[in-house]
Every structure is written in structure tokens, then in C-alpha cells.
Structure 1
Amino acid sequence: MAGRRKSIGEDEKRALLQRMEAGENVSKLAKEVGISRQRLYDWRDYLRLHGNLASRRRGRPPRLASSIDEVPQLQSAVNVPSSQEKALTKARRRVRELEQKVGQQQLDLDFFREALQHFEEAHRRSSAPGETESSKSSKK
């Protein structure tokens, strides 16, 4: 890894992100500059959200609303993703929800199949030839 740099300017960050988006290997690119891969992805996400890569204050970032749509005044201040990106994000979220639901249903099915199998085995044992069936209690 190259020596640690004090800071990377916005123009250089944009150039790195363009190379990244063009398909260069992110690990090699990060190693060349002396930063982590995650830093490149963070810059990319920050650029998409804020529209610039101006230096930010160090420390905890300000708390943003969970969805840009929830705060109308943010829509004009922040580059809002295109309608296709919004639709894709919404579709991915729905797919994730449905996959979780299908997974839970599969667990339920497996549980009930196993319970039914145990019940059927117990029923077969009690009704096998030579076995005595349970009778009603003589106590009333």
C-alpha cells in the first residue's frame, strides 16, 4: 500500500470514481492510491446522495431522514435518484421482503412435515397387527 496521504481533492476523487465506474479493479485502484476499497464505495455513495464530494467535517455525520421522500425540503437540496433508480430500489426491497417470507414459510412447512411424519409413525405403530389399541378409561 502506498504511503498515507493527508487528503485527496474532489477532482482526484471524481477521477478515481470514473475509473472505478469504467470497470477498473477496485482493490488495485484503492491500493494504488493508498486508501481502502470501502472508501471508494463511500465516496461513490456520497456523490450519488449529495451531488458533490466536498470535504466533510470529521466525526459523526448528521442524522438524515430514513427516506428522502419523507422530508420534502431535502428533495431540492439533494440530488434525488431518477425514477428508474427509485423503482429499482423499491423492487429490490420488495424482493428481499418476499424472499424472507418464502424462507419463513419453508421453515414452517418443514416443521409441519416432520410433525406429521412423527404422528403417522406413532399411528402406524399403534394400529399394527398384534398391537393393542388404547381403550377408554373405565373410570368415570
Structure 2
Amino acid sequence: MSQEEKRAFSRSFKLRAVKRMEAGESSSALSVELAVKRTLLYRWRDAVRQDGEKAFRRKSGRPSKTELLKREHGEEEASELAQARRKIAELERKIGQQQLDLDFFKQALRHIEAPRQRNSARGATASSPASRR
């Protein structure tokens, strides 16, 4: 088995190579540059011409979450469930943003209140928190 047969190419790599061929680049020069057999480039080009956007997509493998939901719950319930999950994700993002805001304002309040701390004895210097540098 040669090195070429062992090598796996990503879908985006194949599509970029085909796009360059379609733009008019020499298939021989492209073959040398990409270290791919010229016949393989032609097979990729033919696959794109035949299948278009669906070219080089895996036909087997793990189904998407949407497909699994449709199988388990039916079409309508799957869309409702997906919509509920999107809403939950949106609310979780909002909660995270609110927590960041709270942390920011707590820190700002500490900075404002630090100079206000006074010692009850006259003439004494006020205490302040240690620097975090």
C-alpha cells in the first residue's frame, strides 16, 4: 500500500482543491503542490459536479442531535424540545452575563468604599486593604 492510499483528506481540503481546478489552475501543477494524484483530483471534481454541496459528506456515522430527537419523540416534539433547549441556552447566557455584571459592581464598590474607611482616633491614618499587585 502506498503513502497516497493511507492519507485522509478533509472535506474542506477537497473542496478547496476542486475550486482551484474549476478556477483554471493546472491539475498537474495542483497535483504536485498538494501531493495528491491527479486522478484523485478528477474524482473529487466529478463528485462535486454530481453531488454539489453534499459531496464528501459521510453517509454513515453518528446521527445529529436533531435526527436522534426526531427518532425518539417525533417531528413536532423534537422541534419543541430543540426550541426549549435554545431558550435554556439563551437564559444561561443571560445569567452568566448578569453574574459578570455583579462581580464588576462588587469590585467597583470595594474600590469606592476603601478610601472611606477611617480610624476612630484623631490623627491616625485610615486602614486600607492590601494591594493585590
Classify the TM-score, shorter chain. Answer: 0.3 to 0.5
More helix by share: 2
Q: Tell me the TM-score normalized by structure 1.
A: 0.36
Q: Which has the higher contact order (CA 8 A, sep 6+)?
A: 1
